[in-house]
Amino acid sequence: MLHRHLIAAALPLVVSLAVVRCGAVTAVTPLHRGESSLSASFGGPVANVSGMNIPIPYAVARYRYGLSDRTGIYAGFHPLAAGFRVIGLDFGFSYHFLKEQGWIPTVGAITGVTAFIQPGGSQALFPQLDLVASYRLGDRFTTYFGSQSMYQFSTTPSVILAPLVGGKFKVNDRLSLCLEAKWYTPTELTHPRNVNYTLPVADHGAVGFVLGAEWLFGGNHE
């Protein structure tokens, strides 16, 4: 059916505007006090786009700053939203309340707001809360797991979850890369939808992948 095929081809890219939890976890590990980082992440749930199964290419660029060795703030920019003449921003803070010690992982909470603002038009605000635990495996590798959640009050579901696992590889003192696998909206049925998500789990949600890079600078990092 031509109608449906065309929608299936076009919508994943377009609707990706709404897949705002596509970005990688904001703060897997804390920054040192005064340290800054710039990060970019790219990816989302795997969907069929023009016959190819690819992660929806949602991009987020973020800056974060370490207020202390446990607490940080961040601000992010969503380039694809700008493509729709919508200003897409996220901002908030992170707090790591456990530091790795034996079997106890480093555990952090990241809370903030994602805001979409259409100049002269509508706005949409979504509070979010992420919890992430991480273990260092050697000098260069950190594995992490947790869940992202986003809240909406105007419609259902009120809570949009995304459990995740990921790995972060330290290329050098400044640069690290991460790959994250997420199960987006596990509480919702995958079909029928106008986007053909191709990696559901028991017809719920959509599995996706996000690739990220983070570059540290400033502070006492030297």
Partner 1 sequence: MSENAASRKPQVPILRCRIRSICVICVICGCSLLLTCLRLDSFLFDPIRVEGEYFNPAETDTSWHVRGDVIPDSLIEPVTLHGLDSNRVYGFFARQPNGAGRITVLYSHGRGENINRYWGRVELLWEAGYGVFIYDYEGYGKSEGAPSGAACYADAEAALGYVLARRDVVDSNVVYYAWSLGSFMACHLAADNADKPRCLILENPMASMSALAKEGAVLGIPGSFLVDADFDNEVRMPKLGCRTLIIYGKKDDTAVPERNAEVLLTAAKDQPDVTGYPVEGANHSDLPEVMGYGEYERVVKAFIAGDSL
Nearer to partner 1, 60 or 110 (CB): 60
Binding mask 188-217 for partner 1 (x = CB under 8 A): x--xxxxx---------------------x
Nearer to partner 1, 83 or 97 (CB): 83
7, 9, 126, 81: CA torsion to nearest 10:
-110
Is 79 an interacting residue with respect to partner 1 (CB under 8 A)?
yes
Is 113 an interacting residue with respect to partner 1 (CB under 8 A)?
no
CA distance 130 to 115: 16
Phi, psi dihedrals of residue 149, rounded to the nearest 5°: -140, 145
Phi, psi dihedrals of residue 103, rounded to the nearest 5°: -80, -10
Provide the sign of the torsion angle of the four alpha carbons 215, 78, 73, 130, taken in this order.
negative
Is 20 an interacting residue with respect to partner 1 (CB under 8 A)?
yes
Contacts of 27 (CB under 8 A, 6+ apart): 64, 72, 74, 94, 96, 108, 110, 132
Nearer to partner 1, 14 or 98 (CB): 14
CA distance between the termini of the chain: 60
Nearer to partner 1, 40 or 144 (CB): 40
Is 185 an interacting residue with respect to partner 1 (CB under 8 A)?
yes
In this chain, which stretch among 104-112, 138-146, 151-159, 165-173 interacts with partner 1, using CB under 8 A? 151-159
Is 1 an interacting residue with respect to partner 1 (CB under 8 A)?
yes
CA distances from residue 22 to 19, 153, 159 in whole angstroms, order as listed: 6, 20, 15
Residues that bind partner 1 (CB under 8 A): 1-4, 6-7, 10-12, 14-20, 38, 40, 61, 63, 77, 79-86, 116, 118, 121-122, 124, 126, 150, 152, 154-155, 157, 160, 185, 188, 191-195, 217-218, 222
